[in-house]
């Protein structure tokens, strides 16, 4: 143990040096090249240096997974560098093009980041849901040959202000969370300032209330020893009473300031005066700075003693900027060491110019001994940390029978019900989840068949009491639906965890999450986070839009189609018909499993080989279905984003392009115009997102010399005469389709919803927002002038 501590101390010094140098060096390079200086987070990193040294170089095992506080990324990269998993080139390019990332990134960093962080709070919750996911996988009998991992989050104390953390805590309690450690970097500083007094007490109570163990790491071993000296109890009382800002200020001011303050306040009390007096300024500062979060013996003891099964919160007292000249200063968050300070630091670390990147430069222990220690670090013993789940074969098509008039939401329920009947490997890998809207998003039939997941079985009381109920609500370890509380943030973070299971647990899941479309906005940052991590899932958002008529503005989504269009890593669809949905859903199951790197297809210019998550925007509106045979060509076009429901003739004057549940209005409008406008075309757009992405990519390809590159929408619109107008329409923001006019220069009028809806009948609302058949005709008349359209009624 003593040997280990000594070696770790040396390596911690090196880690702090490397992290600080990484930041300084990158800033220095930037300053000279573009005059920009960026916040370096040297202080925020230093705060976690000791804890991360203890964890990565001693405590953690290969199966453990960590979400590192965003601003501790330089420390993380420095540790990986020492372990031979990060390159000097990337550290030199820190925060620069293709360099090590400012915040740990699963997708952009090469040194095996387990969970991305950046938007504070999300990575923390991700560890909790990853632990539940691990339980889910193992309860289903998968991955049992691998050791279980602990899911660890390194949390900033101000990060705990983020509400999503508490939403997750509540869910974790409900689901019987285990194997999860949150280590709070209690430096009592946030970005702007010093945090409130006594927060640790609130945290302690709070975590205990949610069934966690709480370990408070306050006094380091030097302090503990000093407390045993005569007068030590007085010192301890003073430390306990000292307000956070004062403690921080004294840490910054150093030994002489400590002495003055301590003497002023408790110096006339005999024993404690001697305790203070017998220490030099330097020793006194070392004693007062010796909080447990910077004390390797205390940390190692606590981490090794903690129960790995139980969810455990460690509150570790630290000093922001520990070991650096601005330690403790409240303005230090984005503070950078000046070149002069860096020079002093270099000398203190005994690093010769030109040897800044040498692994063991300036350390007292022999390099061979240090390297030998690093070679035996348990965390680094495993092979690749990125696992690969086996691909799950998807059936050639998803069969479903549906009524002549039905909605996409009903169709979705029917499709899952069908899947629920089958006992294939494919059906077993599906896991559904919903934030308290399981039944109202039509997952009920599926859940009846597959059951709810819980680590311990729980009978449905209504069933056991023989009270008739439509839904069987039985929990068991074999269940395939994870029922969540209402918090949408939790839905997305759980999807993020389930959707990374192939990589984290080596076992692929096919996750489907359902929620009401407008409430995507509630969890949007978590959705973005899940996509940034490249998690794979299918999001089914239903119902949607003003088509919800009676529900009013608070339930009617407007902007979501634009989210679908703009969100990276998420392919968005809004089908109108159930046969389209069946095609898209089948495709989605395959798409979420892809992670190849083939170049974009010449057909649609999309990077389908790389895969991603999928968003399906569905509706409760029953729509008369089209009786047709699903040909391979039609299915392909549905997936590519659009097809001609009615091809425009060579002299077409108007094309109506519609998306989703508004299809009947578009069809009706075509009928109303038929007598007075020639060859009217009807374009069914199943994915504005994919059409738009393909179009952008094809243009870029042409600009780079691939003159024959054509996207799907360009090919479709090539058949439309130049003077033809396009009226686009959807139950969502009109900008979603407004760009269609730019593809080939057609005059376009984009209809849709721009303002908060209200209650009313469907007909009233469609008329009010101008997306009814008559409004489509009026728009057509305006952009494709000709003889008056006889069926057009005067608009109010
Ligand atoms: C959602 C979100 N809001 C704001 C920020 C900007 N931000 C980054 S760090 C930080 C404060 C961090 O304080 P703390 O968690 O205590 O970390 P410390 O730097 O003290 O270790 C803020 C506000 C962010 N990254 N994410
Ligand atoms: Mg802090």
pLDDT at 637 over 60: yes
pLDDT at 618 over 80: yes
Closest ligand 1 atom number to CA of residue 195? 16
| Residue 310 pLDDT grade (very low, low, confident, very high; cuts 50, 70, 90) | very high
Q: For ligand 1, atom 25, name the residue with the nearest CA.
A: 119
CA of 241 to the centre of ligand 2 (A): 20
pLDDT at 717 over 70: yes
pLDDT at 312 over 70: yes
Tell me what pLDDT residue 656 has. Answer: 98
Of 332-346, 389-403, 490-504, the one with minimum mean pLDDT is: 332-346
Tell me what pLDDT residue 44 has. Answer: 84
CA of 289 to the centre of ligand 2 (A): 16
Q: For residue 162, give the ligand nearest its CA.
A: 1
pLDDT at 166 over 90: yes
CA of 120 to the centre of ligand 1 (A): 6
Q: Contact 68/126 with Cβ under 8 angstroms? A: no
HSE-CB at 518 with a 13 A cutoff on CA atoms is 16
Tell me what pLDDT residue 398 has. Answer: 93
Tell me what pLDDT residue 1 has. Answer: 67
Tell me what pLDDT residue 374 has. Answer: 97
Per-residue exposure over 462-494, b if at least 16 CB sit within 10 Å of its own CB, e if not: eeeeeeeeeeebbbbbebbbbbbeebbbbbbbb
Residue with the bigger pLDDT between 333 and 496: it is 496
Ligand 1 proximal residues by C-beta, below 6 Å: 44, 47, 69-71, 119-120, 156-159, 185, 187, 189-191, 320, 333
> CA gyration radius for the chain?
31
CA of 328 to the centre of ligand 2 (A): 11
CA of 310 to the centre of ligand 2 (A): 25
Torsion of CA 620, 621, 627, 633, to 10 degrees: -60
How many other C-beta atoms lie within 10 A of the C-beta of residue 31? 13
Residue tagged 């896991």 (tokens): 431
Give the C-alpha distances (Å, rounded to integers) separating 702 from 604, 642, 698: 14, 22, 6
Closest ligand 1 atom number to CA of residue 185? 21
- Positive/negative CA dihedral, 292, 294, 295, 298: positive
Cα–Cα distance measured from residue 537 to residue 546, given in angstroms and rounded to the nearest whole number:
26
| Residue 124 pLDDT grade (very low, low, confident, very high; cuts 50, 70, 90) | very high
pLDDT at 553 over 90: no
Q: Give 649: exposed, middle or buried? Use CB within 10 Å, 0-12, 13-18, 19+.
A: middle
Q: What is the mean pLDDT of residues 16-31?
A: 85
DSSP state of 441: T
- Give the tokens for residue 67: 């979400």
Alpha helices in 254-355 (DSSP H): 255-266, 271-277, 281-288, 296-305, 339-349
pLDDT at 36 over 60: no
CA of 123 to the centre of ligand 1 (A): 12
Q: What is the mean pLDDT of residues 770-787?
A: 95
Q: Contact 767/781 with Cβ under 8 angstroms? A: no
CA of 778 to the centre of ligand 1 (A): 52
Q: pLDDT, tens digit, for every residue of 68-120?
A: 999 999 999 999 999 999 999 999 999 889 999 999 999 999 989 999 999 99
Tell me what pLDDT residue 268 has. Answer: 79
Q: pLDDT, tens digit, for every residue of 384-402?
A: 789 999 999 999 999 888 9
Tell me what pLDDT residue 363 has. Answer: 97
Of 57-61, 167-171, 704-708, 786-790, the one with minimum mean pLDDT is: 786-790
Q: pLDDT, tens digit, for every residue of 721-763?
A: 999 999 999 999 999 999 999 999 999 999 999 999 889 999 9
pLDDT at 30 over 80: no
| SS3 call for 253 | helix
Q: For ligand 1, atom 10, name the residue with the nearest CA.
A: 191
pLDDT at 449 over 90: yes
pLDDT at 125 over 90: yes
Cα–Cα distance measured from residue 614 to residue 747, given in angstroms and rounded to the nearest whole number:
31
CA-based end-to-end distance of the chain? 84
| SS3 call for 577 | coil
CA of 331 to the centre of ligand 1 (A): 13
Of 11-20, 24-33, 439-448, 770-779, the one with minimum mean pLDDT is: 24-33
Q: Give 205: exposed, middle or buried? Use CB within 10 Å, 0-12, 13-18, 19+.
A: exposed
Closest ligand 1 atom number to CA of residue 72? 21
Strands (E), 114-206: 151-156, 180-186
Tell me what pLDDT residue 551 has. Answer: 85
Phi and psi at residue 698, to the nearest 5°: -65, -40
Mean pLDDT of all residues belonging to the chain: 94
Instruction: Give me the percent of the chain exceeding a pLDDT of 90.
Output: 83
Q: For residue 529, give the ligand nearest its CA.
A: 1
Q: pLDDT, tens digit, for every residue of 650-706?
A: 999 999 999 999 999 999 999 999 999 989 999 999 999 999 999 999 999 999 999
Q: Contact 339/45 with Cβ under 8 angstroms? A: no
Tell me what pLDDT residue 40 has. Answer: 58
Pocket test for ligand 1, best of 158, 200, 294, 315 (most atoms within 8 A of CB): 158
| Residue 550 pLDDT grade (very low, low, confident, very high; cuts 50, 70, 90) | confident
Specify the pairing of strand 538-541 against strand 613-617.
Answer: parallel
pLDDT at 507 over 70: yes
pTM of the entire predicted model: 0.96
Pocket test for ligand 1, best of 40, 71, 320, 335 (most atoms within 8 A of CB): 71
The answer, yes or no, to whether the previous bond of 375 is cis (omega within 30 of 0) is no
Tell me what pLDDT residue 32 has. Answer: 54
Q: What is the mean pLDDT of residues 475-482?
A: 97
Tell me what pLDDT residue 446 has. Answer: 97
Q: Contact 586/704 with Cβ under 8 angstroms? A: no
Q: pLDDT, tens digit, for every residue of 414-446?
A: 999 999 999 999 999 999 999 999 999 999 999
Tell me what pLDDT residue 33 has. Answer: 54
What own/partner pairs with CB < 8 Å and gap ≥ 24 does 454-461 have?
454/175, 454/176, 454/479, 455/135, 455/139, 455/175, 455/176, 456/176
Q: What is the mean pLDDT of residues 186-195?
A: 82
Tell me what pLDDT residue 188 has. Answer: 87
Closest ligand 1 atom number to CA of residue 160? 15
């Amino acid at each position: 143990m003593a040997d280990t501590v000594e070696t770790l101390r040396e390596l911690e010094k090196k880690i702090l040096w490397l992290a600080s140098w990484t930041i300084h060096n990158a800033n220095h390079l930037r300053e000279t090249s573009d005059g920009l200086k960026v916040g370096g987070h040297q202080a925020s990193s230093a705060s976690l240096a000791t804890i991360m040294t203890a964890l990565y170089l001693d405590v953690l095992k290969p199966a453990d997974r960590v979400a590192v506080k965003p601003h501790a990324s330089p420390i993380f990269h420095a540790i990986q560098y020492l372990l031979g998993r990060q390159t000097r080139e990337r550290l030199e390019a820190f925060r620069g093009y293709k360099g090590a990332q400012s915040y740990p990134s699963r997708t952009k960093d090469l040194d095996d980041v387990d969970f991305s962080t950046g938007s504070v709070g999300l990575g923390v919750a991700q560890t909790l849901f990853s632990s539940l996911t691990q339980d889910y996988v193992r309860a289903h009998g998968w991955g049992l040959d691998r050791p279980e991992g602990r899911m660890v989050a390194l949390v900033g104390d101000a990060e705990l202000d983020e509400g999503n953390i508490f939403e997750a805590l509540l869910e974790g309690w409900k689901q019987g969370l285990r194997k999860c450690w949150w280590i709070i970097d209690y430096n009592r500083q946030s970005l702007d300032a010093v945090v409130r007094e006594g927060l640790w007490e609130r945290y302690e109570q709070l975590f205990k209330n949610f069934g966690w163990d709480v370990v408070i790491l306050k006094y380091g071993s030097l302090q503990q020893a000093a407390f045993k000296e005569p007068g030590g109890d007085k010192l301890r009382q003073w430390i306990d009473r000292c307000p956070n800002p004062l403690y921080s200020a004294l840490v910054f001011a150093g030994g002489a300031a400590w002495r003055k303050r301590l003497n002023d306040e408790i110096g006339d009390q005999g024993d404690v005066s001697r305790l203070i007096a017998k220490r030099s300024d330097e020793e006194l500062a070392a004693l007062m700075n010796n909080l447990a979060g910077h004390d390797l013996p205390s940390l190692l003891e606590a981490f090794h003693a903690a129960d790995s099964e139980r969810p455990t919160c460690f509150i570790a007292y630290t000093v922001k900027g520990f070991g650096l000249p601005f330690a403790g200063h409240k303005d230090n968050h984005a503070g950078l060491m000046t070149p002069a300070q860096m020079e002093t630091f270099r000398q203190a670390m005994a690093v010769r110019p030109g040897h800044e990147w040498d692994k063991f430069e300036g350390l007292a222990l022999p390099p061979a001994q240090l390297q030998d220690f690093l070679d035996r670090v348990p965390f680094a013993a495993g092979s690749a940390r990125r696992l690969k789940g086996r691909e799950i074969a998807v059936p050639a098509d998803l069969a479903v029978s549906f009524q002549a008039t039905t909605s996409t939401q009903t169709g979705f329920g029917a499709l899952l019900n069908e899947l629920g009947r089958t006992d294939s490997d494919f059906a077993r890998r599906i896991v559904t989840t919903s934030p308290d809207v399981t039944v109202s998003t039509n997952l009920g039939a599926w859940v009846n068949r597959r059951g709810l997941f819980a680590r311990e079985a729980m009978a449905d009381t209504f069933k056991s009491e023989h009270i008739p109920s439509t839904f069987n609500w039985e929990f068991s370890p074999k269940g395939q639906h994870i029922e969540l509380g209402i918090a949408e943030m939790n839905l997305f973070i759980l999807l993020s965890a389930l959707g990374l299971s192939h990589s984290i647990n080596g076992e692929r899941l096919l996750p489907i999450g359902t929620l009401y479309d407008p409430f995507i906005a509630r969890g949007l940052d978590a959705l973005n986070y899940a996509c940034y991590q490249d998690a794979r899932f299918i999001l089914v958002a239903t119902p949607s839009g003003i088509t919800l008529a009676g529900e009013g503005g608070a339930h009617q989504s407007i902007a979501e189609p634009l989210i679908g269009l703009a969100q990276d890593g998420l392919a968005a669809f809004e089908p109108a018909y159930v046969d389209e949905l069946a095609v898209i859903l089948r495709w989605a199951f395959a798409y979420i499993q892809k992670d190849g790197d083939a170049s974009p297809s010449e057909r649609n210019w999309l990077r389908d080989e790389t895969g991603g998550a999928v968003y399906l925007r569905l509706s409760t509106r029953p729509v008369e279905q089209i009786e047709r045979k699903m040909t391979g060509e039609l299915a392909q076009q549905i997936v590519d984003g659009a097809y001609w429901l009615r091809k425009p003739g060579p002299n077409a004057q108007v094309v109506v392009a519609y998306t989703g549940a508004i299809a009947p209005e578009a069809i009706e409008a075509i009928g109303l115009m038929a007598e007075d406008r020639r060859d009217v075309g009807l374009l069914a757009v199943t994915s504005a997102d994919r059409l738009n992405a393909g179009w952008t990519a094809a243009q870029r390809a042409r600009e780079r010399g691939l003159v024959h590159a054509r996207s799907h929408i360009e090919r479709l619109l090539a058949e439309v005469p130049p003077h033809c107008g396009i009226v686009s329409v959807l139950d969502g923001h009109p900008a979603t389709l407004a760009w269609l006019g730019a593809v080939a220069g057609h005059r376009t009028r984009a209809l849709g919803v721009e303002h908060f809806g209200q209650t009313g009948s469907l007909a009233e609302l469609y008329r009010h927002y101008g997306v009814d058949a008559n409004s489509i005709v009026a728009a057509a008349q305006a952009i494709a002038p000709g003889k008056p359209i006889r069926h057009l009624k005067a608009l109010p």
